[in-house]
Structure 1
Amino acid sequence: MYNPPVSLAYPASSGPAAREKPLDIRQLFRFLLSNGLLISALTALFVAIAVIYVSITPPTYVSSAQLMLESQKATAADAQRTLAEESLVEGQMEIMKSGGVLTAVVDSMDLSSDAEFQSDHLPIADTVRSMLSDHASTSETAGTTDPSPEDAQDNYTIATLRSRLWIRRVGQSTVIEISAASSDPRKAALIANAVSEQYIAQNVQMKSQAALQSSEWLAQRVANLQEAVFDADRAVMKFQSSGEPGSQFKLTELKSVAETQHRLYETYLQSWSEAKQRISYPVSDATFVSRATVPVAKSQPKSLLLIAFALILGLTAGVVVAIARHFGNRLITSAHRITTEIDVPCIGEVAQANRGKAKQKASQVELLQTGDLAGKPDTREWFDRDMRDLRATLGGLRRSRKANLIGLVGTEAKAGATTLAYNLARLAAASGSKTLLIDASATNPTLSQTFGEGRAVGLMDVLNDPRAYTDFISRVDKRFTILPIGSFRDVTPGERIGSERIAFSFADLKERFDLILVDLPSMPESSDAKSIAPHLDGSLIVARYGRSSFDTLAEIVNALREVGADILGVVLNGSPHRKN
């Protein structure tokens, strides 16, 4: 996929890159715009998945009922009462989810025959709970037999019902909320009310059974106390009729025992009466605060919420993938990244041209002048503007570095170094500078093939013969002069200059020209750039947007630095953006 250039903030380096500007909103906007297709595609994918899920998922309705438990007596201390209430609420909530209550709900509503609750496997939560408890219960269930198919189905139904119930305490009160979920809104309300009613019924039954057991024990205790009362009364009467009324102390003791037995008897008799009353009219510990009603809107899935979440998730995933792809991509797509990663300043970007059939019909001179531009007129306008910016930047470097002899070397054969060299020379000459453009590219002598016809003197000639150099200098009478490479066979210009046995030095040319640009062959094709660059005031490396790699650029920078060449900067050619 073709991506426009992106400028993101990279970790600062210790060299000149540390002075680069941080990420601003325009760089972020360019990054998002350049990766808009990827981000939009991932966002659309997540939203489509959410829409499909919402479309195929049956709606779920939730209805809730509320019960209030009988609070603890206010006579207890506050801390003890709070602790007792928490224990009471927790215990009652567990009873509401117990098998006895849910079995009664299943039987009363005939949920075993309901398709929504018919299943041959446990819900996920119950499955996990069962797996965790299997090991602990192995020894206890060793002697039991497997349940029948009917019991197994009932167990699955109860487990499914339990997974559709939510029971919680409302705040710190004794109010318990029972919520039930179902694909049928009316059924959800019926289940919530049925669970509440069955819990109340079981609570009443439990209290009735407890009252019955208490009544039976109290009846026996009352009978025993009644015998004790009769015995105490007979003892008093017997002592009074025994003829020993003088022993007042003994009589007082017997009357005290009789009164104590009477009081115990009356107390237990009253408790027995209350227990019999609770048996005949038991009262539950819980009362309805509100019954469940039929919900008017579905609770799950929440369509708008899911789609909004999918939208946010898709945007986030798209940005993350775009960042990962950007930093993982070793092809050069960012001028700012060149500066920070290679530790060489990127002094300019040149616009990418629209290419079309017109390129095939253009002459070689037109292609050099326009940088392979064809098609829309505004493309040439962007290119000219970028070239003027580059020339101005190069002019500043020339003044600050006193560099008038500059070479241009491409990271690859089609990086566009020749085109940039020609246009820079043409613009410099147009501004009044006496300019010389030298073709030293033995592997691809485009300048020589375009402008060298009919020229008697070439670079190889002036390198080998002092008379050829004198003849060339005598013929220079224009602001813009091109020195073609000339004829060569076994020895290239780089090899000839590297031998240092040449007829002239570049210093001689600097006395004759204000600016000298040397078109060097690309580094992968030839080693001439390494031989010629040390003799120049500086070199510009031309990288191709989306084609040259950072690794290749780093190798070229290191290779030129090893031979002592001064690197002025990098030019990113073929940028698809028009810079604003």
Structure 2
Amino acid sequence: MAPLNTHILNSGSSRAGNDEGNFSLRDMLHLLRDHIWTLLAFVAIATTLATAYAFFSAPTYSADVVVRVDPPTPPDQNALGISRQDGTAQQQPGTQATAAEISLMQSRSVLDPVIRQFQFDVEVVPHAFPILGRFAEQLAYPGRPSKPWFGLSSFAWGGERLVIPSLNVPAFLEEKPLELIALDNGRYELRAPNGDLLLRGETGKPATSLDGLSITVKELIARPGTQFTVTHRNTLDAIDALRRQLKIAEVTKDTGIVQISFASKDRGLTADVANAVAQQYIASAVSSRQLNDTKTLEFIQGELPRLKRDLTNAEQALSDYQSSTETMRPTTEAQSYLQGSIELQQRTSALQLQRTQAASIFTPNSQQIKTIDAQLAQLADAKRAFDSRFVSMPTSERRNAELTRDAKVAETIYLGMVSKAEELSVRRASASGGAHIVDEAMQPYRPIKPNRPLVIFAGGGLGFFIGAFFIVLRRYATTGVTDPLFVERRLDVPVLGEVLFSRQQAQLENETSVQPSRASLFGRDDGMPGLPDPHSLALDPLDAQSSSPNFATGLVREAAARILACRLPHEPSVEALREVRTQVCRDRLNKKNNIVMLTGPSPSTGKSFVAANLSILLTEVGLRILLIDADMRRGNLASFFKQSNRGGLSEVLQGKLASADAVRSVGVRGLSFISCGAYPANPSELLMMHDFKQVVDQLSERFDLVLVDSPPFLVVTDAAIMAPHAGATVLVLRSGMQSEDEISETVKKLRRAGGRLLGSVFNAIPKRASNWRSYEQAAQYTRTVNETDEV
């Protein structure tokens, strides 16, 4: 088994008051500290990758242009410039109007000319070697192709340049990667994805093929044999890609100031594209406004003759009526009626003109026509309500007021239309489109990304969180229990001691030792070469009782020198087992007999190591100890004392040897030992057919304490047969070897068999960084004790 060494962190029932199953922040910090090197490895790897990305990824530059969007003509003002005063709110340029202009800036009508101007629908990618090609590109100068690495001349190693101002492909080659191979003297050849030759051409001259493919290469700087991937992208895909590179937003809300930003890895391209988008938007706005002005002007010019006739007729009707009635000035009541009716009539006439203009654009059932009709209906209702207030007015005065109103409204409409026509004529001739550039884009100096300090810091942070997640996930996903606290909290099994992995015991295990001989049981030397007969070393129990308890040093024979408690009695792992001894001695009065069984859920938990060292430590307090190796299948406890297995428990149960004759001395005063004997074919049957209880009861009368090292509990049934005969059972667990289910099943079967569980010893615990202070204190104290002993 693997040797184990521990410093006692906590033991016994001191943790019983803790909540079961809780994983607190403190536990998390301890867990991370215990796996600090794993965590640092994740951080180091992530930081290294982030650093490589920060320094070797192509930088991204950004340029921005500022555009002012002029306030549009309010929608409640008609072509005559007459306010409707219908209570509808005016639209402000900083709200919906600016949002609409931003949408126009991203429209296909604006971006498509930019796509064609900068050939964004043609994608050119040098065929670079993976990873190394990106690194080599960072070291090269633009326009000066680098020498090929490792003789790989078909790859681009930086400095290459290919400019294609025109590429037209048939539909079946759209979005297909074509391979362009540079030849000597500025020549090239273009191949299909399957490798078929499409055409050959020369720099500066258009080249065409029979299937409608045409290409013009303006500039080609590359070593002969260098390959490029050329793809003609679909226009819609190219526009979507350009939109993703653009960022258009209003600088300050409700100001109409819009910033257009373009980001690209080509620093010289950023400012040109940003300015081109702004200029194309303004050109589109100018064209759209001129088109609208032309249509409106044509409408006004078509209405002016009719409006002129309406004005002439209205003035003539008023003049004739006033002459016939000799009425020149209206009364006060008629003046009030005149003012109100003029206002309503002007609004009605303005809406009627708007409806006439809208009817030439929209269908009768459109929302625009329905809105105007609803407003006209509201004005008609308002006019009827207004007229009802003047029912008592004399007919002559009312008629005079109506004619005067008609004449004034006709005059206002006609003059407004004339003024509007002049305004539209002047505006149509200008180049203003309702927007202008405030600040043109300039070529950027510094890249916007990657932000190297931020990327490196974020990479380290990401590595920390990934490492922490991995450590916590492994803690819960692992099948083996590694935390003694978990055993106590979750499984309700007291931990008598926590034993760390011992390098010193490992060295003892590796020391050259003579293997025990396999001699006969009777009449011949059953010991080892150079050692006396083990049975001749047996001590009388009374002699052991009279011996001094402090004999671990100086009285150890060579046979017990491999046991850590004998060689290094003050080693921290031995101190941990002394804590177990304390718990065992404290429990002596609470159990039915003086027999203590040590077992484990599975093999290789270290129960033999614990049994051998614990037996030595129990003799230090003056107890007479009998150690029995009851594992008749794979028992090797005799090897700790350099003795043979033969002549032990199996022979006693078979009746070949008396129990008293099987008791051996191991060279330590107060300690006697019974080996497992020769491995029988039926150990379980031996335990059940022959009275194992009678054997151990007889032996226990001669000793203060009997330690029984039994087989693993879940592997064979031997331990379940022995458990009812022991006053207490100590469960030896090894860190990371047994799962929660295995430990729980062992405890359940032990209690079902009638055994009494005293507690557990948590074995082979690796040192944890979270407990380094306790380890250091224990080591310092141990050094002090050893130095005192030497003195």
Bucket of the pairwise TM-score, normalised by the shorter protein: 0.7 to 0.9
Aligned counterpart for 2:456 among listed residues 307, 315, 321: 307
2:132: which partner in 1? none
Q: Supply the distance in 2 between the matched residues of 1:203 and 1:301 (Cα, whole angstroms).
A: 36
1:519: which partner in 2? 709
Q: Given the alignment of the two structures, is residue 168 of structure 1 paired with residue 249 of structure 2, yes or no?
A: yes
Q: Given the alignment of the two structures, is residue 389 of structure 1 paired with residue 538 of structure 2, yes or no?
A: no
Counterpart residue identity of residue 109, structure 2? G
* 1:96 CA displacement: 0.9
Q: Supply the distance in 1 between the matched residues of 2:29 and 2:118 (Cα, whole angstroms).
A: 60
Q: Supply the distance in 1 between the matched residues of 2:731 and 2:752 (Cα, whole angstroms).
A: 15
Q: Give the 3-state SS of the residue equivalent to 2:446 in structure 1.
A: coil
Percentage of matched positions with identical amino acids:
23
RMSD over aligned Cα atoms: 5.1
Counterpart residue identity of residue 169, structure 1? E
Q: Does the Cα contact within 8 Å between 1:543 and 1:571 map onto a contact in 2?
A: yes
Question: Structure 2: 5+ residue runs without aligned partners?
Answer: 7-14, 77-82, 126-162, 168-173, 177-211, 216-231, 328-395, 516-556, 775-791
Counterpart residue identity of residue 443, structure 2? V
* 1:291 CA displacement: 3.4
* 1:564 CA displacement: 0.3
1:127: which partner in 2? none
1:93: which partner in 2? 102
Q: Given the alignment of the two structures, is residue 326 of structure 1 paired with residue 475 of structure 2, yes or no?
A: yes
Q: Supply the distance in 2 between the matched residues of 1:247 and 1:77 (Cα, whole angstroms).
A: 36
Q: Supply the distance in 1 between the matched residues of 2:449 and 2:287 (Cα, whole angstroms).
A: 36
Q: Supply the distance in 2 between the matched residues of 1:378 and 1:479 (Cα, whole angstroms).
A: 17
Q: Does the Cα contact within 8 Å between 1:405 and 1:510 map onto a contact in 2?
A: yes
Q: Supply the distance in 1 between the matched residues of 2:641 and 2:324 (Cα, whole angstroms).
A: 158
1:551-566 mapped onto 2 (5 Å cutoff): 551-566=741-756
Counterpart residue identity of residue 65, structure 2? A
1:57-96 mapped onto 2 (5 Å cutoff): 57-71=57-71, 80-81=89-90, 85-96=94-105
Q: Does the Cα contact within 8 Å between 2:626 and 2:671 map onto a contact in 1?
A: yes
1:262-341 mapped onto 2 (5 Å cutoff): 262-281=411-430, 283-341=432-490
Q: Deviations over 1:369-415 (max 9, x none)?
A: 655799xx999723222222222233334355576321112444543
Q: Supply the distance in 1 between the matched residues of 2:724 and 2:574 (Cα, whole angstroms).
A: 30
* 1:21 CA displacement: 9.3
Q: Give the 3-state SS of the residue equivalent to 2:114 in structure 1.
A: helix
* 1:538 CA displacement: 0.6
Q: Supply the distance in 2 between the matched residues of 1:63 and 1:409 (Cα, whole angstroms).
A: 75
Q: Supply the distance in 2 between the matched residues of 1:253 and 1:28 (Cα, whole angstroms).
A: 92
User: Structure 1 residues 35 and 543 mapped into 2: Cα distance closer, same or farther (>3 Å)?
Assistant: same
Aligned counterpart for 2:511 among listed residues 356, 360, 367: 360
Q: Deviations over 1:527-578 (max 9, x none)?
A: 3322222111111122333445555444433332222011112222222327
Q: Deviations over 1:189-214 (max 9, x none)?
A: 23222222222232223222322322
Q: Given the alignment of the two structures, is residue 443 of structure 1 paired with residue 452 of structure 2, yes or no?
A: no
Aligned counterpart for 2:282 among listed residues 196, 200, 209: 200
Q: Does the Cα contact within 8 Å between 1:351 and 1:383 map onto a contact in 2?
A: yes
Q: Does the Cα contact within 8 Å between 2:622 and 2:670 map onto a contact in 1?
A: no
* 1:90 CA displacement: 2.1
1:134: which partner in 2? none
1:351: which partner in 2? 500
Q: Supply the distance in 1 between the matched residues of 2:123 and 2:659 (Cα, whole angstroms).
A: 104
Q: Does the Cα contact within 8 Å between 1:371 and 1:416 map onto a contact in 2?
A: no
Q: Given the alignment of the two structures, is residue 535 of structure 1 paired with residue 725 of structure 2, yes or no?
A: yes
Q: Given the alignment of the two structures, is residue 567 of structure 1 paired with residue 757 of structure 2, yes or no?
A: yes
Which structure is higher in helix share?
Answer: 1
Q: Given the alignment of the two structures, is residue 191 of structure 1 paired with residue 200 of structure 2, yes or no?
A: no
Q: Does the Cα contact within 8 Å between 1:5 and 1:334 map onto a contact in 2?
A: no
Q: Supply the distance in 2 between the matched residues of 1:79 and 1:255 (Cα, whole angstroms).
A: 30
User: Structure 1 residues 350 and 492 mapped into 2: Cα distance closer, same or farther (>3 Å)?
Assistant: farther
Q: Supply the distance in 1 between the matched residues of 2:493 and 2:458 (Cα, whole angstroms).
A: 43
Q: Deviations over 1:56-80 (max 9, x none)?
A: 5422212222333334779999993
Q: Supply the distance in 2 between the matched residues of 1:343 and 1:437 (Cα, whole angstroms).
A: 28
Aligned counterpart for 2:112 among listed residues 103, 117, 125: 103
Q: Supply the distance in 2 between the matched residues of 1:234 and 1:503 (Cα, whole angstroms).
A: 140
After the TM superposition, which of the residue ranges 527-536 and 37-46 deviates more from structure 2?
Answer: 37-46
* 1:112 CA displacement: 6.4
User: Structure 1 residues 154 and 373 mapped into 2: Cα distance closer, same or farther (>3 Å)?
Assistant: farther
**TM-score, normalised to structure 1's length?**
0.74
* 1:224 CA displacement: 3.8
Q: Does the Cα contact within 8 Å between 1:182 and 1:188 map onto a contact in 2?
A: yes
Q: Does the Cα contact within 8 Å between 1:353 and 1:576 map onto a contact in 2?
A: no
Q: Supply the distance in 2 between the matched residues of 1:84 and 1:397 (Cα, whole angstroms).
A: 89
Counterpart residue identity of residue 32, structure 1? L
Q: Does the Cα contact within 8 Å between 1:168 and 1:178 map onto a contact in 2?
A: yes
Counterpart residue identity of residue 754, structure 2? G
Q: Supply the distance in 2 between the matched residues of 1:259 and 1:551 (Cα, whole angstroms).
A: 101
Q: Deviations over 1:460-512 (max 9, x none)?
A: 788799x9678999x9xx96131424867869887566457579575565554
Q: Give the 3-state SS of the residue equivalent to 2:571 in structure 1.
A: helix
After the TM superposition, which of the residue ranges 424-433 and 180-189 deviates more from structure 2?
Answer: 180-189
Question: Structure 1: 5+ residue runs without aligned partners?
Answer: 7-14, 123-146
1:180: which partner in 2? 262
Counterpart residue identity of residue 94, structure 1? S
Q: Supply the distance in 2 between the matched residues of 1:520 and 1:53 (Cα, whole angstroms).
A: 59
Q: Supply the distance in 1 between the matched residues of 2:751 and 2:581 (Cα, whole angstroms).
A: 24
Q: Supply the distance in 2 between the matched residues of 1:319 and 1:559 (Cα, whole angstroms).
A: 37
Q: Give the 3-state SS of the residue equivalent to 2:290 in structure 1.
A: helix
Q: Does the Cα contact within 8 Å between 2:67 and 2:436 map onto a contact in 1?
A: yes
Q: Supply the distance in 1 between the matched residues of 2:645 and 2:241 (Cα, whole angstroms).
A: 95
After the TM superposition, which of the residue ranges 60-69 and 508-517 deviates more from structure 2?
Answer: 508-517
After the TM superposition, which of the residue ranges 522-531 and 383-392 deviates more from structure 2?
Answer: 522-531
Q: Supply the distance in 1 between the matched residues of 2:109 and 2:651 (Cα, whole angstroms).
A: 108
Q: Does the Cα contact within 8 Å between 2:653 and 2:690 map onto a contact in 1?
A: no
* 1:303 CA displacement: 3.6
Q: Supply the distance in 2 between the matched residues of 1:319 and 1:542 (Cα, whole angstroms).
A: 30
User: Structure 1 residues 530 and 176 mapped into 2: Cα distance closer, same or farther (>3 Å)?
Assistant: same
Q: Give the 3-state SS of the residue equivalent to 2:444 in structure 1.
A: coil
Q: Does the Cα contact within 8 Å between 1:121 and 1:156 map onto a contact in 2?
A: no
2:158: which partner in 1? none
User: Structure 1 residues 437 and 409 mapped into 2: Cα distance closer, same or farther (>3 Å)?
Assistant: same
1:576: which partner in 2? 766
* 1:269 CA displacement: 2.0
Q: Give the 3-state SS of the residue equivalent to 1:298 in structure 2.
A: coil
Q: Supply the distance in 2 between the matched residues of 1:43 and 1:187 (Cα, whole angstroms).
A: 37
Q: Does the Cα contact within 8 Å between 1:330 and 1:551 map onto a contact in 2?
A: no
User: Structure 1 residues 91 and 56 mapped into 2: Cα distance closer, same or farther (>3 Å)?
Assistant: same
Q: Give the 3-state SS of the residue equivalent to 1:80 in structure 2.
A: coil
Q: Does the Cα contact within 8 Å between 2:650 and 2:679 map onto a contact in 1?
A: no
Q: Give the 3-state SS of the residue equivalent to 1:91 in structure 2.
A: helix
Q: Supply the distance in 2 between the matched residues of 1:90 and 1:297 (Cα, whole angstroms).
A: 30
Q: Does the Cα contact within 8 Å between 1:17 and 1:343 map onto a contact in 2?
A: no
Q: Deviations over 1:119-174 (max 9, x none)?
A: 9649xxxxxxxxxxxxxxxxxxxxxxxx9999976555544433321222345323
Q: Give the 3-state SS of the residue equivalent to 2:706 in structure 1.
A: strand
